[in-house]
């Protein structure tokens, strides 16, 4: 799973692999649920566009935006069924989160230590995501938000290091650049082949500076677990 990451600012990479430009609006150096960060999605006339979106998907039926604090990751096994994600999945609202690296808690020492995970080649990464739009009933503002898709990673050489002992290991889906176009424009029945853990050798991990808390991820409120 991923609750905290570094949004990329590598315009050259985005232009090369997506034929698009990063948003001109400012966004924070690290993203947490509720923060704005750049995503890529399918635009008009076959073009790809990048825009800022809120990390943590807020479905169109939500009463307020706070649900996004719990919907930043969607399990691939249940994404087509859960109320928070199923409409976006059915409509094929596929997106790519654009990041340099992400952070996970490593418990190998018996306590949570913040580690950074990145591509071994040092390139940014595109992570398979879903997007949706929500209209604030008070202000009328239309908010674009997204969730990252996750897969089981038990036994993975890198992602198997993270989270508490005994917990299921999960990983985001790191797409190769050659998959970007196919992901954004695929039928939902065609994307399953891309929903795989990162291949061995793609990612590396190391201890990171303790810039932010590395405690437990945002909890699921009682009675709402079935939504996501």
pLDDT of residue 157: 95
Q: What is the pLDDT of residue 213?
A: 40
User: pLDDT tens for residues 3-47?
Assistant: 999 999 999 999 999 999 999 999 999 999 999 999 999 988 789
Q: Where on the phi/psi map is residue 225: left (φ > 0), alpha (ψ -120 to 50), or beta?
A: alpha
Range among 21-25, 105-109, 188-192 with highest mean pLDDT value:
21-25
Q: Stretch 188-209: mean pLDDT, rounded? A: 93
CA distance 62 to 76: 21
d(CA 117, CA 99): 11
Predicted confidence at residue 228, as pLDDT, reads 55
**What's the maximum distance between 2 C-alpha atoms anywhere in the chain?**
52
Would you place residue 62 in the very low, low, confident or very high pLDDT band (cuts 50, 70, 90)? very high
Residue 140 within any structural domain of the chain: yes
Report the percent of the chain where pLDDT is more than 70. 92
Confidence of residue 187 (pLDDT cuts 50, 70, 90): confident
Alpha helices in the chain (DSSP H): 11-18, 86-90, 180-185
For residue 211, the model assigns a pLDDT of 57
Number of domains within the chain: 1
CATH number, domain containing residue 145: 3.90.1680.10
Q: Is the pLDDT of residue 188 over 60?
A: yes
Residue 227 in any domain: the answer is no
Q: Is the pLDDT of residue 1 over 70?
A: yes
pLDDT tens, residue by residue, 154-180: 999 999 999 899 999 999 999 999 999
The answer to whether residue 43 is domain-embedded is yes
Q: Which domain holds residue 207?
A: 5-221
DSSP 8-state symbol, 226: G
pLDDT beyond 70 at 214: no
Within a domain: 226: no
186 near 94, Cβ under 8 Å?
yes
Give the pLDDT of residue 227: 61
> For residue 65, which phi and psi values (nearest 5 degrees)?
-85, -5
Does residue 199 register a pLDDT over 80?
yes
Better-predicted residue by pLDDT, 210 or 160:
160
On average, the pLDDT of the chain sits at: 91
């Amino acid at each position: 799973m991923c609750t905290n990451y570094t949004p990329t600012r590598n315009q050259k990479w985005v232009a090369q692999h997506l034929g698009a430009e990063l948003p001109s609006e400012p966004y924070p150096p690290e993203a947490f649920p509720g923060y704005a960060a750049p995503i890529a999605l399918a635009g008009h006339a076959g073009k790809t566009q990048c825009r800022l979106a809120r990390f943590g998907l807020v479905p169109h039926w939500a009463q307020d935006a706070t649900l996004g604090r719990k919907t930043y990751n969607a399990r691939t096994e249940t994404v087509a069924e859960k109320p928070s994600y199923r409409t976006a999945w059915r409509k094929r609202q596929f997106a790519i989160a654009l990041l340099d690296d992400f952070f996970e808690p490593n418990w190998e020492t018996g306590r949570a230590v913040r580690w950074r995970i990145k591509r071994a080649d040092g390139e940014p990464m595109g992570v398979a995501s879903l997007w949706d739009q929500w209209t604030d009933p008070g202000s009328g503002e239309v908010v674009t938000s997204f969730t990252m898709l996750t897969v089981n990673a038990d036994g993975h050489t890198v992602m198997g290091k993270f989270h508490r002992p005994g917990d299921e290991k999960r990983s985001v889906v790191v797409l190769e650049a050659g998959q970007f176009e196919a992901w954004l424009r695929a039928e939902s029945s065609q994307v399953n082949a891309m929903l795989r853990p990162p291949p061995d050798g793609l990612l590396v991990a190391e201890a990171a500076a303790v810039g932010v808390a590395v405690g437990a991820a945002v909890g699921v409120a009682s009675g709402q677990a079935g939504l996501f």
